[in-house]
Amino acid sequence: MRVALIADMHGNAVAFDAVLRELELERFDAVVSLGDVAQGGPQPAECIDRLRELGCRCVLGNSDEFLLTLELGSEEVDDERREQLVTVGRWSQQQLGDEQLAFLQAFEPTVELDVGGRRLVCCHGSPASNEEVVLPETPREKVEELIGRADAVAGGHVHLQWLRRAGRGIWFCAGSVGLVYEHKEPMDERPFDPWAEYAVLTADDGKLGVEFRRVPFDVGALIRAAEAMPDEQYAAMWKRA
């Protein structure tokens, strides 16, 4: 059995299309979206429409919630960053029709699948919260606690591909389809990477395997699409990719 895990498109349909073209070339028993589909990039409606056509189950990410409410939750940001997020979020809302918003509202907190007799839990940040940050340096005992009774947990949120065995299970993050960057501060100086990321989980005779994939996409096309956005920072950051 083979499951494709996609996450964090963030309104980048150019990158999403590159991944979808790869997925069409292979047979998967299931595809799961791990959240953060539309907010942040120039193509929120296109990303939602692609996902609707795909017909897969979808986890609700923290940016999906923000797009619906324009409330930042527990994230701490300065006034300038807050204004930028709300400006882009309001613009993104305006690009969406009622059916697209209803589709977002139907996303699930978590998705569980039986993968060859093994239990896969799909989440955004963690099974407990779509805002929780789980990284390679997260203490082992915390990762074990979050895995719980699952055999594997697939997450997004951190825009990083990584895998860790903890106790009887594995935790892995699929990376980001639409917003891959180097993890350095300050955020507005992070170099973006010109590829899309996703993961494939396989189950063969009860054994689980994870493959991380990267797909190049046309950054120039994305920058041109970003000309319609109300904020110039997105295009400026991609010009450094």
Identify the CATH number of the domain in which residue 58 sits.
3.60.21.10
DSSP code for 77 = -
Residue pLDDT, tens place only, 18-33: 999 999 999 999 999 9
Q: In the chain, how long is the greatest CA-to-CA distance?
A: 53
Residue pLDDT, tens place only, 103-120: 999 999 999 999 999 999
Give me the phi and psi of 183, to 5 degrees please.
Answer: -85, 85
Domain count, the chain: 1
Instruction: Determine the pLDDT at residue 58.
Output: 99
> What tokens does 172 get?
């892995």
Q: Which of 1-10, 71-80, 222-231 has the lowest mean pLDDT?
A: 71-80
Domain hosting residue 219, numbered range = 2-238
**Count of CA atoms in the C-beta half-sphere (13 A) of 66:** 26
Instruction: Determine the pLDDT at residue 184.
Output: 65
> What tokens does 176 get?
């980001």
Residue pLDDT, tens place only, 81-105: 888 889 999 999 999 999 999 999 9
Instruction: Determine the pLDDT at residue 132.
Output: 97
State the pTM of this model: 0.95
Contact between residue 180 and residue 159 where contact means Cβ atoms under 8 Å apart: yes
Angle at 32 between CA 28 and CA 34, to 5 degrees: 150
Sign of the Cα pseudo-torsion (44, 45, 51, 57, in order): positive
